[in-house]
Structure 1
Amino acid sequence: MDKIFSFLRSKRNFVQGIFALITNGKLDNFLKGNIYTGKLKSVCVPGLNCYSCPGALGSCPIGSFQAVVGSSKYNFSYYITGLLLFFGTIFGRLICGFLCPFGFFQDLVHKIPSKKFSTKRFKLLKYLKYIILVLVVWIFGMIFTDNLKIASPYFCKYICPQGILEGAIPLSIANSGIRAILGKLFTFKFTILLIITISSIFIYRPFCKFLCPLGAFYALTNKFSFYQYYVSENKCISCGKCKRTCKMDVDITKCQKDLECIRCGECIKACPTNAISTSFKNNAEDVNEEYV
């Protein structure tokens, strides 16, 4: 199994691109300016992918969760929560590293040649995404509902830059009617997207680090997910290459279940002694006695 993941890690951008294409496979809608509303839209994809993207075949888990979290009468709310827990329990934040289209977008933008900056000094900002998850996605979804106990997707409507990138921009290009009604909200969210895009050139995944509630949810599952990283004390020479390589500012030798680790595998590539390994077994003792 690790050989398969080793191959996938070596082709990570390719895997990200393929998954983004699969989840947005209704390509003809980009020309028509329509949104796919077929049966597949009742299924949530694991990554952040806008429902309003013309090509989107599935629903965004954050938007879907927020819309129905305030009602105990809708089985759909339990379905979404269960599906998110299912994804997180198996993979943890591996989903952020491999299966999130907006993460892929930030990765591509970061490849633009420029001076790169560390975000270690801003580490307190990483807690902002948990505040957004609890306050905007969950509490707002519980309190601010209509007569049917359905909430407006506040995060998607007012914050999420993916909605502008995948939804509003391509729809407005193809549909003159939508272009005509663009207003202040579009301008506001486009500004957010622009700030994140420009920031992504100089720092790695600013949205994932500081703002993404889906990343915050999956981060919590890093602690108990089946897919885990392990560091061999016998092989590790404490050279620090893994820490210096990690763009998410994680020291994998100190915490293999770090909430910020997106399981991208760059630390594994950097390790000169092959001290870092992965496994789907959640107990290190079950993998090998030398792992901690």
Structure 2
Amino acid sequence: SASLYQGPMKSVCTPLLNCYACPSALLSCPIGTLQHFAAAGNVSWYAVGTLSVVGASAGRMTCGTLCPFGALQDLLYKFRGWKVSLPHWTRYLRYAVLAGLVFIIPWLTRENWFSKLCPVGTLMGGLPWVAMNAGIRSMVRSLFWVKIAILLFFVTTSTMVKRPFCRAFCPLGAIFSLFNKSSFLQLAWDPDTCTRCGKCRMICPVDIRPDRNPTDPDCLRCLDCTRCPSLKLTTVFHRQPFGEPAVPASVARSV
């Protein structure tokens, strides 16, 4: 058996999807907090403020460096097999999930529907509780199997698509993506040294081109692409860390 920690740390939001029901969870989930207050007809300004500070500081960097479910998807994609690319329009689904399952539907139904269906919660909370507690196993109903089906869907698609949950369905990623263009930490690209070889896209966990748009809302700031000397982590106050751009040859000849 296991017990659920209910101490003072549970009032602190982590900048990750962190299932409140996970037996090992010490902190609260920001999305769970937002929808809990929405279901009560209120707004958690504490959660809003916490996510705003994290987003304004680093954009989606926590998604690319700390998220365990993201790391699992990266691992699954390494399996050999059929690989496909997500259509560009799927990036907007995460905003629909954020608006619908985190705010609107909980407010209308007074229930936390994203948490009921979240695959991260199923993996970190639902499965461990069912495995460790016979009493909970006797309470399993059809909703649990729906949650298992959703988790299996993302596990399966992760072997074919780079981070499908992060890119198309994660409401926390949707929030942080709004800060990518203006966050303190930025990704900079040097057009003078870039050879347009496309290797940055090949290693990108979300299949974008950092050399075309280093502030892309999909960018996780994982920094894998900074192994290329044409890409570098910088700050909003130092957008040209490579020095001043070179003078084009046509301009130089006219001087």
TM (normalized to structure 2)? Answer: 0.89
- Residue of structure 2 in register with 1:277 after alignment: 232
Instruction: Summarize the Cα distance change of 1:87–1:173 in structure 2 as closer, same or farther, 3 Å threshold.
Output: same
SS in 2 for 1:284: coil
Kept after mapping to 1: 8 A contact 2:188/2:240: no
Kept after mapping to 1: 8 A contact 2:234/2:241: no
1:109 Cα deviation (Å)? 2.5
- Which runs of 5 or more structure 2 residues have no equivalent in the other structure? 247-255
**Which of residues 223, 226, 239 in structure 1 aligns to 2:184?**
226
- Residue of structure 2 in register with 1:183 after alignment: 141
Kept after mapping to 2: 8 A contact 1:223/1:258: yes
Are positions 1:56 and 2:25 aligned together?
yes
Kept after mapping to 2: 8 A contact 1:141/1:153: yes
Please tell me the root mean square deviation across aligned C-alpha atoms, in Å. Answer: 2.1
Higher helix share: 1
**Bigger Cα displacement from structure 2, 91-100 vs 179-188:** 91-100
Q: Deviations over 1:105-124 (max 9, x none)?
A: 2223233x31251314x222
- Which runs of 5 or more structure 1 residues have no equivalent in the other structure? 1-31, 146-151
Kept after mapping to 1: 8 A contact 2:188/2:232: yes
TM alignment of 1:32-43, pairs within 5 A: 32-43=1-12
1:243 Cα deviation (Å)? 2.4
- Residue of structure 2 in register with 1:80 after alignment: 47
**Which of residues 99, 103, 106 in structure 2 aligns to 1:134?**
99
Kept after mapping to 1: 8 A contact 2:41/2:107: no
Q: Deviations over 1:64-119 (max 9, x none)?
A: 11111366867xx11010001111111111111111121122223233x3125131
CA distance in 2, matches of 1:234, 1:107: 31
Matched letter for residue 40 of structure 1: M
TM alignment of 1:239-250, pairs within 5 A: 239-250=197-208
**Which of residues 164, 167, 170 in structure 1 aligns to 2:125?**
167
Instruction: Summarize the Cα distance change of 1:275–1:65 in structure 2 as closer, same or farther, 3 Å threshold.
Output: same
TM alignment of 1:250-289, pairs within 5 A: 250-269=208-227, 271=228, 274-282=229-237, 284-285=239-240, 288-289=243-244
Instruction: Summarize the Cα distance change of 1:183–1:72 in structure 2 as closer, same or farther, 3 Å threshold.
Output: closer
- Residue of structure 1 in register with 2:58 after alignment: 91
Pick the structure with greater CA Rg.
Answer: 2
TM (normalized to structure 1)? Answer: 0.78
Kept after mapping to 2: 8 A contact 1:45/1:59: yes
Instruction: Summarize the Cα distance change of 1:259–1:175 in structure 2 as closer, same or farther, 3 Å threshold.
Output: same
1:282 Cα deviation (Å)? 4.7
- Residue of structure 1 in register with 2:252 after alignment: none
1:246 Cα deviation (Å)? 2.1
Matched positions, count: 246
CA distance in 1, matches of 2:115, 2:61: 23
**Bigger Cα displacement from structure 2, 241-250 vs 201-210:** 241-250
CA distance in 2, matches of 1:167, 1:247: 26
